[in-house]
Copies of this chain bind each other. A is one copy, B any other.
Amino acid sequence: MGLNESDQLLLDAAYEQAKKSFDEGGIPIGAAIADASGAIVAAGHNMREQSGDTTAHGEISAMRNAGRRRDWHECTMATTLSPCVMCTGAALLHQIPRIIIGERETFQGAEDRLLEAGVELIHAHDQRCVDLMKRFIELHPEVWNEDIGIPPAE
Is A55 touching B64 in the complex (CB atoms < 8 A)? yes
Contact with B along A79-100 (1 / 0, CB 8 A): 0000011111110111100000
**Interface size classification for chain A:** 20 to 34
A125-142 interface (Cβ within 8 A of B): none
Shortest Cβ distance from residue A74 to the other chain B in the assembled complex, whole angstroms = 9
Is A70 touching B146 in the complex (CB atoms < 8 A)? yes
Contact of A73 among B54, B92, B151 (CB under 8 A): B151
- A84 surroundings in chain B (CB, below 8 A): 89, 93
Interface residue ranges, A against B (CB under 8 Å)? 48, 52-56, 60, 63-64, 66-73, 84-90, 92-95, 110, 146, 148-149, 151-152
